[in-house]
Copies of this chain bind each other. A is one copy, B any other.
Amino acid sequence: MKVVEERELKHYKKIHDQLWISNYVVNARMKTEYKVKSLLHYEVSPIQEISVVETKGFGRLLVLDGVPQISTGEGFIYNEMISHIPIITHPNPKKVAAIGGGDSGQAREAMKYASIEEITVVELDPQVTSVCRTWLTPDSYYDKDSRFRVVHQDGIEWIKENREYDVLIIDRPDPVGQAKNLFKSEFYKDVYDGLTDDGIVVFQSGSPFYNTSTLRKTYRSLKELFPIVRTYLITIPLFPSGIWSLIIASKKYDPLDADLSRLQDEDTKYINKELFLSSFALPNYVKEILES
């Protein structure tokens, strides 16, 4: 802890000797702040500041450049909902890849499906993968499944060179800095080309409460490429405003016609058959964002 203090934690703040994570959402002019029980890990990679903290409310929390990413207390919500829904929508997925999401939580969910032969996670920062393995999920969990591999490469480059995926999971960060390229038409086109003729992709598309333009633009861009595009919602306690959108885009299969008997929900903490369908029911204010 002393060593860390000397480096002057860039994205933390200290009040009366108590460390806090502070996440300011410019669009909403609001902050969410988390009291740090202990700072478990801190390092600065060539790409970003990476830290893991222990919290009372969320368990262990991965923080990148000061922004809370995922926690052991509720990470299952995001991981289950971004993976099971596209995987179930496809009747027989064999090749699955995720771009982003260094904790590989989506891969962990994908492993529950016997039909899947290949699970690739594309994560730019090897240090994020390593930190997550040490602090969030033990290495052994992944090592025992030979279908799983991690590629350390920029997702934007990777997608240009890789093809024939049944399911792609675009676990992108918010559109800030370099990540802006993950929100552009060219990227959407590359993703389309990276899928099989009946392939399916899912994108995280921001908070429909304070980030309406990300949701609207993603939806519109995908509608230009894919015959089936549907938005679904999850509530992530860690994220400001809670409400979060995901968009599924599909060349052939409609998630609303999915064979729910395939859902591997014996040990899930969030998803179940009713929730699969109900997550596609949108409040009127979200429908208006998509239609306007």
- Chain A residues in contact with chain B, CB under 8 A? 20, 25, 27-35, 37, 55-58, 74, 76-77, 207, 209-210, 233, 235-237, 239-243, 265, 268-272, 274-275, 277-285, 287
Contacts and interface: CB of A to CB of B under 8 A. Distances in A.
A30 B35 CA distance: 6
Contacts of A30: 32-35, 55, 57-58
A20 B30 CA distance: 9
Given A27-B57, A30-B35, A33-B30, A269 B242 contact: no
Contacts of A233: 235
B32 A31 contact: yes
Contact of A56 (B20, B28, B56, B74): B28
B284 A272 contact: yes
Contacts of A29: 34-35, 37, 55-57
Contacts of A28: 56-58
Give the oligomeric copy count: 2
Contacts of A209: 74, 237
B278 A57 contact: no
A28 to B, nearest CB: 3
A57 B210 contact: yes
A237 B274 CA distance: 23
Give me the 7 closest cross-chain CB pairs, A-B, nearest first. A242-B242, A28-B57, A278-B278, A278-B281, A237-B241, A274-B281, A29-B35
Nearest to A265: B284
Nearest to A56: B29
B281 A275 contact: yes
Contacts of A282: 274-275
